[in-house]
A = this chain, B = another copy of it.
Amino acid sequence: MRERLYLFDTTLRDGQQTQSVQFSLAEKQQIARSLDMLGVDYIEGGWPGANPTDSDFFRDRPQTRATFTAFGMTKRAGRSAENDDVLAAVLDAGTPAVCLVGKTHDFHVTTALGITLDENVENIRASIAHVVAKGREAMLDAEHFFDGYKANPGYALECLHAGFTAGARWIVLCDTNGGTLPEDVFEITRAVIASGIPGDHLGIHCHDDTGNAVANSLASVRAGARQIQGTLNGLGERCGNANLVSLIPTLLLKEPFRSTLQTGITAEALAGLVKTSRMLDDILNRVPLRSAPYVGASAFAHKAGLHASAILKDPSTYEHIDPAVVGNARVIPMSNQAGQSNLRARLAAAGIEVAPNDPRLVGILDQIKAREDEGYAYDGAQASFELLARRALGLCPDFFEVKRYRVTVERRKNKYNQMISLSEAVVVVKIGGEKVMSVSDSMDDDGSDRGPVNALSKALAKDLGPYQACIDDMKLVDFKVRITHGGTEAVTRVIIDSEDGQGRRWSTVGVSPNIVDASFEALLEAIQWKLIRDRVVPAE
């Protein structure tokens, strides 16, 4: 009989405290749906009333199997819980669960709040009782609990018991400043249980300020806590919160957790972990951390020669788990046999059959490696990968040749003395024997300037002669820009997502120190891929 361990996600609340992270309403909805599919038990959506996006989100939140939770703080001193407008806004969000932060460190009560120790205990008691009276599941986030316990254990425990006695389902031990080490987390969690709050009513909330948030969470669970709070990819204020993406596989796959605890995450959901992690990075427009435990692109990459040859004999020699279990994949140096069979599988998926041991496979792998060194990324640009392989295999027709282009960006005053911008692009293309010259500006239907890449894209697609019918239903649906290398040697990588009338969607990549060039390369590849896929015959 395994004990139930609950997972509480706070990506949308504490995760949003990350510097420069500000989720939109649509992004919050998408993240909540992904978390629910993953199978966490609680989704903390934000602080209703604290800002307009959080309030909108609680009004318009997705239906989830997970228990939706609103965050707030215990009532202030000098008023009743019923008359505290901040607390009222939290309850008005109508979530089944409410998590209130309350202070448990005497120094903070007197220094930050400036109230008496007894007033603070009463604030906790009355607030939790109020939430319970409203029929909600109540949680107390015991702020600075570990530091508070070290300074004044009696008072820190008194605060917890005030919340627990008032009916809190969970008392969450927070290492708010993130400075506590695993052994202390273990001992103090044990002391809390010994004081009379059972482990299945205790949660743990850690921050990564010493790089121990994952270990601290595990230490508290070993001591008996049965709820873990954390975020996707360890997002969160300062150094971030405990990373649920690292914790979940450990809890499901490693002893002693695997045989003694039960979570709401299925094996199928675990196999989607890499996708869930990447989803958040996509929303944040972050480069996924290659070295991330379990889900990083390098997490199962074997570079050392000795390791790679042993892996071929038995993967368990240098892998602590099977990468497929978390939706990840082994990466072996391109030059060897395993790299080639992987490549053949990817080509077959694009309808290109190549015999095993075809010497051109090594050439393709070398080209990919060289171009990735320059800044190209083929993981997110399958269509460009396919074009690279087709070129190497002699399967890429020359549809047309771009002779030259010129784009002008101008910013000046218009006749009403307002500053306006306008771009204009000229493209000269040779199709068969014929030269075609096209021009476009950067204005959309509203008359707003959309910039030089827009002008260039429109000029290129304006007249491609015999191919025009094929490309007329193409549209650019997304455009991502990333500076690789950084600094003054910055190189720009542009990834363009295109779509056509049949609903096909494909991605191409361009790289250059010049963003207009990088965009143009990706635009060109998008058109080439479409012409090939539609089996268009090249003009003579």
Chain A residues close to B by CB (< 8 Å):
16-20, 22, 50-51, 73, 107-108, 111-112, 176-179, 181-183, 208-212, 214-216, 218-219, 222, 234, 237-240, 243, 246-247, 249-250, 254, 285-287, 289-294, 296-304, 306-307, 309-310, 313-314, 317-321, 331, 333, 335-337, 372-373, 377, 379-380, 402-413, 421, 423, 442, 448-454, 475-483, 485-490, 492, 512-517, 520
Q: In this complex, which of A22, A314, A380 has the most chain B Cβ atoms within 10 angstroms of its Cβ?
A: A22
B214 to A211, Cβ gap below 8 A? yes
Residue of B nearest to A406 (CB): B410
Task: Write out the residue numbers on chain B whose beta carbons fall within 8 Å of the beta carbon of A405.
Answer: 410-412
A19: contacting residue among B111, B333, B402, B477, CB under 8 A: B333
**27 sample A-B contacts, Cβ–Cβ < 8 Å, listed by A number:** A17-B337, A18-B298, A19-B380, A51-B336, A108-B317, A178-B320, A179-B320, A181-B250, A209-B294, A210-B254, A210-B320, A211-B215, A212-B218, A237-B304, A237-B307, A239-B296, A406-B410, A408-B408, A408-B409, A449-B517, A451-B512, A451-B517, A452-B452, A454-B513, A475-B488, A477-B488, A480-B486
B293 near A239: Cβ-Cβ < 8 Å: yes
Q: Is the CB of B490 within 8 A of A291?
A: no
Tell me which residues across on chain B come within 8 A of A373, comparing CB atoms: 20
- Tell me whether A318 and B222 are in contact in the complex, defined as CB-CB below 8 angstroms, given that A19-B331, A452-B514, A453-B515 are known contacts: no
A56 to chain B, nearest CB (A): 12
Complex contact A372–B22 (CB within 8 A) = yes
CA–CA, A477 and B337, complex, Å: 32
Q: Is the CB of B512 within 8 A of A285?
A: no
Query: What is the CB-to-nearest-CB distance from A383 to chain B, in angstroms, rounded to a whole number?
Result: 15
Q: Report whether B319 and A515 are in contact in the complex, using a CB–CB cutoff of 8 Å.
A: no
Contact A406 to B408, CB < 8 A, known contacts A237-B302, A293-B239, A321-B179: yes
CB distance from A404 to the nearest CB of B (A): 4
CB pair A409 B406 closer than 8 Å? yes
Known A-B contacts: A20-B333, A210-B246. Give 20 more (CB < 8 A): A18-B303, A20-B377, A20-B379, A177-B319, A209-B320, A211-B247, A212-B218, A234-B291, A239-B291, A285-B482, A403-B413, A405-B411, A405-B412, A406-B410, A406-B412, A409-B516, A409-B517, A411-B520, A452-B514, A453-B515
Give chain B residues whose Cβ lies under 8 Å from the Cβ of A239: 291-293, 296, 298-299
Closest-by-CB residue of B relative to A448 is B513
Q: Which chain B residue lies CB-closest to A305? A: B50
Do the beta carbons of A514 and B451 come within 8 Å of each other?
yes
State whether B183 touches A515 (Cβ < 8 A). Answer: no
- Nearest 4 pairs of A and B residues by beta carbon: A179-B320, A215-B215, A451-B514, A404-B412
Cα–Cα, bound, A298→B413 (Å): 40
